[in-house]
């Protein structure tokens, strides 16, 4: 593999890790702070809206990171991360569908699926806009 390929892989991995760590870290903080109920207990729709909102912000940020670290074609790197997010979201929906209230309402995993690519595009677009202002 050449240097650009490794840098490209690293950029996407860095974006993925950022989204993963931020999302799970925020979940843990919300549980510890008592905003979210104990693990395994059902949450209200309002709390799932909150989780959807911060995951949306983190997905945009992770896609921006992938685009920012990309050696070239920043939008492509952001969208590759979006596709990975789409795959993870679909897998999560399939695995948790009808597994009980602790996994939330059906709209929640569907919202994560629907927002994966648009969030990636926004993150990539932010990087492209930043490059054009220079």
pLDDT score recorded for residue 39: 85
User: Which tokens belong to 14?
Assistant: 């860095």
Q: What is the pLDDT of residues 75-111, one digit of tens each?
A: 999 999 999 999 999 999 999 999 888 788 999 999 9
pLDDT score recorded for residue 89: 97
pLDDT score recorded for residue 56: 98
56, 115 contact by CB (below 8 A): yes
pLDDT score recorded for residue 100: 84
Dihedral Cα 123, 128, 133, 134, nearest 10 deg: 110
The number of domains in the chain is: 1
Expressed as residue numbers, the domain containing 31 is: 3-132
What pTM does this model have? 0.94
**The Cα angle at residue 40 between residues 59 and 106, in degrees rounded to 5:** 55
Q: What is the pLDDT of residues 29-46, one digit of tens each?
A: 999 999 999 988 889 999
């Amino acid at each position: 593999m050449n240097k650009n390929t490794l840098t490209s892989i690293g950029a996407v991995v860095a974006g993925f890790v950022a989204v993963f760590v931020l999302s799970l870290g925020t979940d843990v903080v919300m549980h510890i702070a008592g905003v979210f109920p104990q693990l395994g207990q059902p949450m209200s729709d309002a709390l799932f809206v909150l989780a959807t909102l911060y995951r949306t912000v983190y997905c945009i940020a992770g896609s921006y990171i992938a685009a920012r670290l990309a050696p070239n074609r920043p939008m492509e790197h952001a969208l590759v991360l979006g596709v990975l997010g789409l795959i993870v979201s679909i897998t999560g929906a399939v695995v948790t569908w009808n597994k009980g209230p602790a996994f939330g309402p059906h709209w929640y995993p569907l919202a994560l699926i629907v927002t994966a690519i648009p969030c990636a595009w926004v993150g990539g677009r932010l990087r492209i806009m930043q490059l054009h202002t220079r």
